[in-house]
Amino acid sequence: MDSITPEGVREQGERPRRVGIMGGTFDPIHTGHLLAAEAAREGAGLDEVWLLPASVPPHKQGAATDGEHRWRMTVAAAEGNDFLRGCDLELRKGGVSYTIDTVLLLRERFPDTQFSFIIGGDMVAYLPNWHRIDEIVEQIRFVGLQRPGYPNAAEGLPDPLRRALTMVPMPLVDISSTDIRERRRQGRSIRYLVPDAVYRYIEGNGLYEPES
C-alpha cells in the first residue's frame, strides 16, 4: 500500500529512469536526427535521449569522417537541451559498433536504467538482419519513428521483435547526412539543415569540402 506523507502527497516510489539511445553515424548530425530524438522522447515518454555516434557502423559502405569530428558535432547538437546528451561509448571502444555489444555494456554500467533504442522508420524493416537481434530484444525495447502516410513497418515483423517495438509519429523531414555532404561538395548551403552550432563547426573545420 502506498504511504501518504504528512503533506498529503502520495509516495509511489521512483520508477526507473527511461533513456532512449539514438545511434547513428552522424556524419554529420542534422535537424532530422534531433527531431527524431524529440519525437521519440515525447511519444515514448523517455526521460532523456543519448546521442550515440558509431565508431564503424555495421551496415554502411565507405569510411566515415574521423570520430573526433563526429563526436564534437554531436556534443554541439545537444548543447542547450537538458534532455539530450552525447554518449561516446562506441567511439571509445572502436571497431565495428554492433548494437548488441553496446546494449550489454550499457546494461552492465547502468543496471537501474531502462533503455530503448531509437530507429528511423526506414530501419525498422531491417531489424531482423541485425547482428544477434534475438539477444538484443531480450535486453531492450525499440522506438521506431513512423513516417506519415507510410504503412506501419512494425506490422511485418515477427514476434518477439514486433512486441518489443513502439512506433511513434514524427513529421516527415527530408534531410539526410548524404545530402548535406553532397551540398557541401557542390558549395551549396546547409544552413538550418543542421543546428547552428554544428554549422559553425563544419565551417570552422572545413568539413565536407571538395578535395583541393
Ligand X SMILES: O=C(O)c1ccc[n+]([C@@H]2O[C@H](COP(=O)([O-])O)[C@@H](O)[C@H]2O)c1
**Cell numbers linked to 61:** 559502405
| Contacted by 176, from ligand ATP, ligand X, none: CB < 5 to 8 Å by type | ligand ATP
Cβ-based neighbours of 104, under 8 Å, separated by 6 or more: 139
Interface residue with ligand ATP, options 42, 68, 122, 196 (CB under 6 A) = 122
Shortest Å, Cβ 95 to ligand X: 12
Cis preceding linkage at 28, omega within 30:
yes
Q: Are 21 and 48 in contact, with CB atoms under 8 Å apart?
A: no
Q: How many CA atoms lie within 13 A of 56 on its CB side?
A: 8
* Angle between helical axes of 196-204 and 67-78 (0-180°, round to 10): 150
Among 19, 54, 76, 202, binds ligand X (CB under 6 A): 54
Mention every residue, 6+ apart, whose C-beta is less than 8 A from residue 8: none
Does 86 contact ligand ATP by CB under 6 A?
no
Written as nine digits, the cell of 79 is 548543447
24 forms part of the interface with ligand X (CB under 6 A): yes
**Pairing label, strands 10-11, 113-119:** unpaired
Q: Which of ligand ATP, ligand X, none does residue 137 bind (CB under 5 to 8 Å by kind)?
A: none
Asked if 58 interacts with ligand X (CB under 6 A), we say: yes
Least distance (Å) between residue 12 CB and ligand X = 34
Tell the smallest beta-carbon distance from residue 45 to ligand ATP (Å). Answer: 19
Q: Is 173 in the site for ligand ATP (CB under 6 A)?
A: yes
Catalog residues that contact ligand ATP under the rule CB under 6 A.
Answer: 24-27, 32-33, 36, 119-120, 122-123, 145, 173, 175-178
